A and B are shown apart, each in its own frame.
Chain A
Amino acid sequence: MPTSIAPSGVVPTADHAVVVHQLVKRYGGRDVVDGLDLVARAGAVTAVLGPNGAGKTTTVECCEGLRTPDAGSVRVLGLDPVADARALRPRVGVMLQDGGLPTGARAGEVLRHVAAMYAAPRDTGELSERLGVDLFARTTVRRLSGGQRQRLALAAAVVGRPEVVFLDEPSAGMDPQSRHAVWELVRELRSDGVAVVLTTHLMDEAEDLADHVHVVDRGRLLASGTVHDLLTTEPDGDAGTLRFDTVAGLDLAPLTARLSTVTPDAATGWSAAEAEPGSYVVTGPADPRTLAELTAWLADHDVLAGRITVGRRTLEDVFLDLTGRHLR
């Protein structure tokens, strides 16, 4: 077993609040997390992005001390989340995916109860108002909507003024207003110097909020960097996308071949995929001539595109390229 806790290529420094190195976690003989490396800095939002079942939650639970790694190491604020749990608990805030809220108690009561675990917690009144928890403070948790529960769980995660916050799918089930309230609070935590680690499969959440994104799938780290890094990573550095909707089941190989003849000097080639039946994404060095070539190809097939858009790659494109387009 490697004894160094530095993920390959990253030297942990004082502002690395979380360092996960070669983490392995197995359930029933299956590697749910399989040699994962991950770091998170203080004063930054780190997104762990991955499809369902990628191992995000298990990884975060190892950081929270709720699970013991089978191999590899996890350090939070330089400490072991399991062995040093007592020292870490007052410094780490946790929002679980399933909320973890007692269903029989009132919302305001739950928040005050969690606050009572700390010597000098945040003012629960102010925090409730920030997240709109005051609007349903007297409602029992059982009767709260999904978004209300999430906001209460977030309030409970930050009421102890943590230095590191783990948020597992924080805006799942939230309406747009709630999401913005949550995002605003997350940005404020960041500017206060808190290390915020959030798992998500929402691209816009990662794109709008994260300073650093780790793309995870099948228990491994696939890519890591700022959103900008990920969007401009070779070999698709100058890539644009052409999206169009038309009849399903077109053979795309002839299309990419034709587009390649239009851009023979480009450093990058063309790729095309039917993202959903009848909805196509073509990626490559897009320019006016390639758009003309695409419409000509459609004309040759005697099909009319319902919509054609030209744009840069999005985080979603990068994500789907890395994790595949098949359903799971």
Chain B
Amino acid sequence: MSDTTTSAPPPAPGTAGAASPARRVTAQAGFETRTILRNGEQLLVTIVLPVLVLVGLARTSIIGLDTGGLPRIDFVTPGVLALACVTTAFTSQAIATAFDRRNGVLRLLATTPLGRSGLLAGKVLGVLAVEVVQVVVIGVTALLLGWQPHVAGIPAAVGAGLLGTAAFTALALLIAGTLRAEGVLAVANLLLVLLVVGGGLLVPPDQLPGPLAHLATFLPSGALGEAMRGALLGTGVPPLAVVVLAAWTALLAGATVRFFRWQ
């Protein structure tokens, strides 16, 4: 360590200093990513579930979908990518944060040079890293099944994914920071099922029955699904979807800042 002599006395207390903010946040992001990717249940919900849904919807007709004449795989993949975003940014993150909160992990890390803002930044980066893994796994699977995405729409899809990640991470932190860990476990899984079935992620809102069609259009899940489909099918991202996602992000982030309890 020292540039003078190897037998120098050990450095005095208070000389460790903080690592640079970038290094702290990357370290936290790496730690979060490894923890999620090593956890069996988290892998099940973030990787296995979306892939199963993709294969199931593309290869069977159990769920009737009006693809407007498009191949099923082209129509389904954008929705599965939206679902993947929700599983990581919302379900997985809500559960992980809730248990970290209950176990005092958030408090302990807040006392290290990482601090609360570094912890938050690390979490968001960790979510994005897991999403990259998801996009690779789902994208390769879809391509093998014959997916032909509208390549020019990829930047818009990335933008939609980032906006969706922001909205759903905010929702994850809101419930993780206000409910008991066991409650979060239940709510996060239940909400995921509801959003998959009737939230407009996989099935476009206008194909949902009755009032659900109008409701899902204004849910972050429906907006994210529509934005993904619009981008990757080449029909363009509906401006309403962007407005809805942005509004939810602002609302949920504000509520999280207001109501999140660290202990």
Contacts and interface: CB of A to CB of B under 8 A. Distances in A.
Interface of A: 64-66, 85-86, 89-92, 94, 96, 98-105, 109, 113-114, 116-122, 153, 156, 160-163, 189, 192-194
B103 A100 contact: yes
B103 A160 contact: no
**Secondary structure type dominating chain A contacts:** loop
Interface in B86-144: 99-100, 103-115
A116 B19 CA distance: 7
B27 A113 contact: yes
Contacts of A99: 103-104, 108
Given A119-B19, A161-B15, A156 B24 contact: no
Interface stretch (B31-39, B56-64, B223-231): B31-39
Please give me the 9 A-B residue pairs with the lowest Cβ-Cβ distance, nearest first.
A100-B108, A100-B104, A163-B14, A161-B16, A116-B27, A119-B17, A94-B111, A118-B16, A90-B18
Interface residues of B, number: 38
B105 A102 contact: yes
Interface of B: 1, 10-20, 23-24, 27-28, 31, 34-35, 38-39, 99-100, 103-115, 262-263
A162 B18 contact: no
6 contacts: A66-B110, A99-B104, A102-B103, A113-B31, A162-B16, A193-B12
Contacts of B14: 91, 161-163
Contact of B24 (A92, A94, A105, A117): A117
Contacts of A162: 13-14, 16
Contacts of A66: 107, 110-111, 262-263
A255 to B, nearest CB: 49
A89 B104 contact: no
A275 to B, nearest CB: 35
Given A99-B104, A103-B99, A104-B35, A121 B16 contact: yes
Contacts of A122: 16
Nearest to B18: A90
Contact of A118 (B10, B103, B105, B113): B113
A120 B13 contact: no
B42 to A, nearest CB: 9
Given A90-B16, A101-B103, A116 B24 contact: yes
A92 B113 CA distance: 9
A102 B32 CA distance: 10
Contacts of B100: 102
Contacts of A100: 103-109
A42 B111 CA distance: 20
Given A85-B115, A89-B18, A192 B104 contact: no
B112 A114 contact: yes
Contacts of A114: 112
A162 B18 CA distance: 11
A117 B111 contact: no
Interface-centre pick from A85, A92, A96, A116 (highest chain B CB count, 10 A): A116
Given A120-B1, A120-B16, A64 B111 contact: yes
Given A66-B263, A102-B103, A86 B115 contact: yes
B24 to A, nearest CB: 5
A96 B1 contact: no
